Chains A and B, each alone.
Chain A
Amino acid sequence: GAVVSQHPSRVICKSGTSVKIECRSLDFQATTMFWYRQFPKQSLMLMATSNEGSKATYEQGVEKDKFLINHASLTLSTLTVTSAHPEDSSFYICSAREGTSGEETQYFGPGTRLLVL
């Protein structure tokens, strides 16, 4: 199946710093990428949908100025957590989809564990 990578796999940072997470589709072109966050023993919560070359669509309650998303190419999307605080500590997972019909499978990255001290 299609492979999606994320980098870094885990990051520890000080409060107030910014952290960038990369999501890459390795063997297919992703017209749409999704960013999720997941707390322990909880479901994936969709943060935003990003389409290549256009602005991301954020879910209600997600601060777009805090979670900057850039989908500059068909194989790369980045999520930047700006001025991170301890409450931003979570497991961030991206997924990528190849087409636009809605039926296509989402392929998930391995996730990035963020710990803000």
Chain B
Amino acid sequence: SQKIEQNSEALNIQEGKTATLTCNYTNYSPAYLQWYRQDPGRGPVFLLLIRENEKEKRKERLKVTFDTTLKQSLFHITASQPADSATYLCALQTNAGKSTFGDGTTLTVKP
């Protein structure tokens, strides 16, 4: 069956370090992979989309990689700040437009 796994439920890092979050999937052929940020009690906020034929995408301090051979995406936040503390969700999307979300990784950046 289709499965999406995000590396860990929680990740704690020191301010200024790079946070790396992992999203692995099985039995799935996504056309797109997206990363979202979700704060407690709020809806997800879109961060980045990467297509199956793209290997890397950047936006300010964010970087996403997509390896369809490994069936894995890595999400990096460089020069992390306490304000980056949130839950980050990866979502796989097919050409039909339906998205399936991972359980999320809660990142805490300590000052």
Count chain B residues whose beta carbon lies closer than 8 angstroms to a beta carbon of A.
Answer: 26
Min distance, Cβ B41 to any Cβ of chain A, angstroms: 7
Interface residues contributed by chain A, number (CB under 8 Å) = 28
Partner of B100, one of A46, A93, A105: A46
Q: Across the interface, do A102 and B94 meet the contact criterion of CB distance under 8 Å?
A: yes
Can you list, as one digit per residue, whether each of A75-115 has a CB less than 8 Å from chain B (1) or not (0)?
00000000000000001010101001111111111110100
Nearest chain A residue, comparing its CB with the CB of B47 = A105
Known A-B contacts A44-B89, A103-B32; the reply to A111 vs B97 at CB < 8 A is no
A49 in the interface (beta carbon within 8 A):
yes
Asked whether A54 is an interface residue with its Cβ less than 8 Å from the other chain, the reply is no
Within the complex, which residue of B44, B89, B97 is in contact with A97, where a contact is CB–CB below 8 Å? Answer: B97
* Complex Cα gap A110–B41 (Å): 8
**CB within 8 Å of A: which residues of B?**
9, 31-32, 34, 36, 41-46, 49, 51, 89, 93-104
CB-defined A-B contacts under 8 Å, sample of 6: A43-B104, A49-B98, A108-B46, A110-B42, A111-B43, A113-B41
